[in-house]
A and B are shown apart, each in its own frame.
Chain A
Amino acid sequence: EAQVTQNPRYLITVTGKKLTVTCSQNMNHEYMSWYRQDPGLGLRQIYYSMNVEVTDKGDVPEGYKVSRKEKRNFPLILESPSPNQTSLYFCASSLSRGLSEQYFGPGTRLTVT
């Protein structure tokens, strides 16, 4: 089954404790992206990747890191999480660039206390 998976689905952590949210897709998509969703703000893009070893900042990249060492994986790293990073995070992938339909993962609900 074609899908985007994210782990963990729920995470409660404390300020400053480094964490990684994994994202994996099995559709051989070139393009992958991370979004955060906050009430009243819609979806905002954090980082995206056009292909392996090619990443670029989205609208709200501060406080996040990403890497794309393999085509199927695109982890999101929070080196020192802060409470303002409490949010619902989505990973998405698409066949090419941002111009085609995107497939979304189920989401990761992160709470930073």
Chain B
Amino acid sequence: SQQGEEDPQALSIQEGENATMNCSYKTSINNLQWYRQNSGRGLVHLILIRSNEREKHSGRLRVTLDTSKKSSSLLITASRAADTASYFCATSDYGNNRLAFGKGNQVVVIP
């Protein structure tokens, strides 16, 4: 079943602005991952944050994880037109052998 749920579902911003999207989940997790998908293409892994981590950075990406609230956020700083894509969170838990993906979060960066 789907566990990750992103919020908001669609975001439109100007180039140079920051984009923030959130993901909530229901059960205990081992890790949470964020993926990007450009229109109709395969998903690309962006960042993985483990359940014992609170924050992680990768380039212009910043991910936070709050296990007490069962939520995560992805921040893209200084957005570029090339960041236009759908962003998915995915969770894995200890009892499962798979990732559960959210429905995705569409981000449009206007040049």
Contacts and interface: CB of A to CB of B under 8 A. Distances in A.
Contacts, number: 61
Q: On chain A, which size bracket covers the interface?
A: 20 to 34
Interface of B: 1-2, 30-31, 33, 35, 40-45, 48, 88, 92, 96-104
Given A40-B103, A42-B88, A59-B1, A106 B42 contact: yes
Which secondary structure dominates where chain A touches chain B?
strand
Contact of B42 (A40, A58, A90): A90
Interface of A: 4, 31, 33, 35, 40-45, 48, 50, 56, 58-59, 88, 90, 92, 97-107, 109
Contacts of B96: 98
Contact of A98 (B40, B98, B104): B98
Contacts of A90: 42-43
